[in-house]
Every structure is written in structure tokens, then in C-alpha cells.
Amino acid sequence: MKLVLTQDLFVNNEYSVIYGENTATFTIVDETFEALGKEAVINRVLCLVQNTDTDGNVIGQLGSMVIGVGDMIVGASSTDSTLVGKLLNKDNMAQCTVELYE
């Protein structure tokens, strides 16, 4: 399944989509905090893919959200070559296509 994430899809920085037997939950993390006397910034989109095994246990896997890299869980690509190798974040996600592998 391929999709383009836009900020209007997210409610409280989360967006979930069901595909096949899986549920992918995307979370925008955009935080600034102080660490070791310096300002640190986290600006990325995380993806947790969950499904249920035959015993009813929920299994979750975090997918890589590096543009241009897929990990057989989820991948992100862009026609903008300057984004390759960067983390998917709220500022560049609309320029990327996310692929959820089944």
C-alpha cells in the first residue's frame, strides 16, 4: 500500500491506517529540549506496524523512516533527491511516498 502523509491526516500527532491484517500507526515527534547544556531537537515521523498472531498476541515492529530506505516493514521515497538519506518528518512528509509492505 502506498500513501502520502499530510499534516491534516494527523489527530494529536497520530494517524493510523489498516492494510491487510496490519495496522500502521504514524506518530509525529517534534520536540525541543535541553541536553548537556545545549538545545536538542527531535523532528521525525515514527511508524509502528502491528498485527495479531494466531494466539491473539499483538506483535509490533518499528519501521525505518529514512527516505530512500525500506526495511520490508515500511519504506519512504521521494522524487526530490535532496531528501534521500534524511529522516521523514512533518516538514518533508508531503513530498514523499510511504510504502507499507504486506
Q: Give per-residue pLDDT as tens, 9-30.
A: 999 999 999 999 999 999 999 9
Average the pLDDT over 71-100 and give the result: 96
Contact status, residue 19 vs residue 47, Cβ threshold 8 Å: no
What b/e string do you get for 66-90 counting C-beta neighbours within 10 Å, with b at 16 or more?
A: bbeeeeebbbbbbeeeebeebbbbb
Cβ atoms within 10 Å, residue 100: 19
Q: Give per-residue pLDDT as tens, 34-76.
A: 988 999 989 999 999 999 888 889 899 998 899 999 888 999 9
Average the pLDDT over 70-83 and give the result: 94
**What pLDDT sits at residue 3?**
96
**What pLDDT sits at residue 35?**
84
